[in-house]
Structure 1
Amino acid sequence: MTADTQDLGPYGRMYELAPDATMTGSVVPGREFTVHTLDSSGGQIRADVDYGDLDASKFFPVVGPVEVVGVEPGDVVEIEILDMDLDPLAHTWTRPGLGLLGQDRFAVMAVDTATLELRPGGPGTPVLAAAQPKAHVGALGLLTDSVEPARTLGHYGGNIDFSAVGVGAKVWITASVPGGGFFIGDVHATIGDGEVCGTGAETGASVSLRLNRLVGVGSILPTVEDIDGRLWVIGVGASVEEALQEATAYCVARVADQADIGKDEAYLSVGLLLNVKVCQVVNPRTSVAVSLDGGLDRVLRVAASAHVNV
């Protein structure tokens, strides 16, 4: 599959998340299905392209919204990432106004998704380094009760850019609309912490998934279980500090509740055990993933009174 494929299977593509968006297909909880994503440029980026030739309205396409049969607002959808088949080539790129350092030029570098070798001079030139394999889904979630650009994020998921969301991972998100309205896109072959230039190794992919419906969970932040079984929660805010405050407060509340200790003791414990990964710092809303060392990440587990599949 090439990066500019338009093969959607039964599902559509969108650039804006709206609570009343028409579902483009449906999936039955518990059954595997596959979606085909474009890279975050909409298949437009190449090493020889001029920025003026790009259509910004086609940036950041996501597949969806997909109805999850039986899901109601307040239910939690468990998203299992079963497999990913990446396109052969990825591109990392930046432009004026994008990224942490205030870039004033458009720049592109191609990356082979199999080797992840960085060749700043182009194919056939010396290798600067090889990136770590971190194939993952950058954006996934459920429709929220407000209109949002597909490239942003919140408690409904979205563009969280957490590199642990790869094959073998699970993600739990609370539904806001009937049917959930699952969406997915922005696959990366690898990424550095913070996505500081504005992109990872952006590529198209075929992603195999399974969605499950959980009821009786209660209020949660987006929660991730990585391939090693470690649990993380995603904090979102207008700054890294604000995102970290949200995630830390959530951890303190969970420790206090599940360990049956006072909030002060829970806060002090979290202060010694907190593990933080900066996900992305380049959008108006930033994201961090936090976990707890010493096995205390167990308090972040999503527990349901019922696991309901049709």
Structure 2
Amino acid sequence: MSRTRITHEDGIIYEFTPHLESVTTVEPGEKLTVETIDSLDGAVQSEGDLLESVPEEVNAATGPIAVAGAEPGDVLAVEIEEIRIAEDRGRVITIDGFGLLDDPDHDEVDVDIEAPRTRMTPISGTDSDSDSDDSESLVLEWDGLETDLEVPVDPVVGTIGVAPAAESYTTLVPHDHGGNLDTTDVTAGNTVYFPVFQEDAMLAMGDCKAAMADGEMCGTGAEVSTEIDLTLEVVDSPRTSIDRPFVETPSAWKTVASAETLEQACELAHSDLLDLLVADPDHGFDHTDAHMVASLVGGLEISQVVDPLVTVRNAIPKRYLSQPF
């Protein structure tokens, strides 16, 4: 089956608003390829390219893509089938005042962290002679290292979301609509579910990384341009409504929440998981029993701690929670 291709030249946004205008409309079940540019819009091409501050416009998201028939109250399912790196290198940067140990608003500021600094990450194994994507790696040929390091390529979509309910959020900010979630589970082989707040959902995505750790501590992953193969489906009249993004992996369901503090984000992600457990017809839990079960088999995971809001997820193995929709 042929795929509809949507490129950043068709349209990009730097803000998720309730009144987005789409660059194209697709039908549920349609297979797409979405091209994205790197989160820094090509501004960093060498280690001599330094960013003194976070750009006013960052994390360009390709779209918005209208999904025909999606209505408020529905759930949009985004099945990510493959993420291909579209260039031969990524970039990791530090910016003064941005990052886990370099934010003046936080208690701990590490004076030994140099900012700004740029490190390029050439990607090996991406040519046509490569037998498998498993051979792809980032090669850290950085001045001052005694030996080169290799980091496995494991692409992640950093920013992905739909039109929000009422407020507007830049593509640097994560919230209930999605946005800058910087969550390693937003990757090939998984499905991300979003609450639909506006007609046709209005999906957009970008800010991809060739590799990124949970937490994204320095403020970036290895930022790259990509091609993303995906399929969109609309769940109308879902058995269980959701207020925030929700991720399905082959083995687990994961609620995703963003808030001003880590504790608040954990509380939201946990409350969302309890609602799903209580709604599961296979168990008959009340909220207290669901709270207890989640304490036995759930698991809080940090997505990122460097954006204007922090993001966490709460994971539960699929054997304890049936398909919510």
1:245 and 2:267 matched: yes
Relative to structure 1, the CA distance from residue 294 to residue 32 in structure 2 (aligned partners, 3 Å threshold; closer, same or farther) is: closer
| Alpha carbons 2:58, 2:171 under 8 Å: kept | no
Residues 132-147 of structure 1: pairs in structure 2 closer than 5 A:
132-145=152-165, 146-147=167-168
1:262 and 2:286 matched: yes
Cα displacement (A) at 1:98:
0.8
Q: What amino acid maps onto 1:162 in structure 2?
A: T
Partner residue in 1 for 2:206: 185
Residues 253-292 of structure 1: pairs in structure 2 closer than 5 A:
253-258=275-280, 259-292=283-316
- Equivalent of residue 119 in structure 2, options 109, 128, 131: 109
Distance 1:84 1:294 in 2: 24
Partner residue in 1 for 2:3: none
TM norm structure 2: 0.83
Deviations for 1:220-262, whole angstroms, at most 9, x for unmatched residues? 1311112x34221102111111111111122223223422133
| Alpha carbons 1:172, 1:302 under 8 Å: kept | no
Relative to structure 1, the CA distance from residue 9 to residue 40 in structure 2 (aligned partners, 3 Å threshold; closer, same or farther) is: closer
Residues 57-72 of structure 1: pairs in structure 2 closer than 5 A:
57-72=56-71
Residues 127-206 of structure 1: pairs in structure 2 closer than 5 A:
127-145=147-165, 146-206=167-227
Give unpaired runs (5+ residues) of structure 2: 1-5, 103-112, 124-135
Cα displacement (A) at 1:168:
1.5
Relative to structure 1, the CA distance from residue 263 to residue 21 in structure 2 (aligned partners, 3 Å threshold; closer, same or farther) is: closer
Distance 1:137 1:57 in 2: 21
Distance 1:9 1:198 in 2: 23
| Alpha carbons 1:10, 1:25 under 8 Å: kept | no
Partner residue in 2 for 1:28: 27
Distance 1:162 1:213 in 2: 22
Q: What amino acid maps onto 1:256 in structure 2?
A: V
Deviations for 1:193-225, whole angstroms, at most 9, x for unmatched residues? 200100011100111111111111142131111
Cα displacement (A) at 1:9:
6.5
Distance 1:268 1:282 in 2: 31
Relative to structure 1, the CA distance from residue 67 to residue 294 in structure 2 (aligned partners, 3 Å threshold; closer, same or farther) is: closer
Q: What amino acid maps onto 2:141 in structure 1?
A: R
Range with bigger deviation, 7-16 or 79-88: 7-16
Cα displacement (A) at 1:184:
0.4
| Alpha carbons 1:16, 1:150 under 8 Å: kept | yes
Q: What amino acid maps onto 1:107 in structure 2?
A: R
Relative to structure 1, the CA distance from residue 127 to residue 28 in structure 2 (aligned partners, 3 Å threshold; closer, same or farther) is: farther
Q: What amino acid maps onto 2:63 in structure 1?
A: G
Cα displacement (A) at 1:291:
0.8
Deviations for 1:111-170, whole angstroms, at most 9, x for unmatched residues? 123322323228xx7545332432111111111122110121112111111112111211
Residues 43-62 of structure 1: pairs in structure 2 closer than 5 A:
43-46=42-45, 47-51=47-51, 56-62=55-61
Distance 2:173 2:185 in 1: 19
TM norm structure 1: 0.87
Pairwise CA RMSD: 2.1
| Alpha carbons 2:16, 2:179 under 8 Å: kept | no
Relative to structure 1, the CA distance from residue 203 to residue 10 in structure 2 (aligned partners, 3 Å threshold; closer, same or farther) is: closer
Give unpaired runs (5+ residues) of structure 1: 1-6, 304-310
Distance 1:289 1:27 in 2: 29
Distance 2:55 2:318 in 1: 45
Deviations for 1:58-107, whole angstroms, at most 9, x for unmatched residues? 42211111111111111111101122220221111110111011156201
> Could you list the runs of 4 or more consecutive aligned residues of structure 1 that deviate by over 6 angstroms after TM superposition?
none
Q: How many residues align structurally?
A: 291
Local SS of the residue matching 1:56: coil
Partner residue in 1 for 2:254: 232
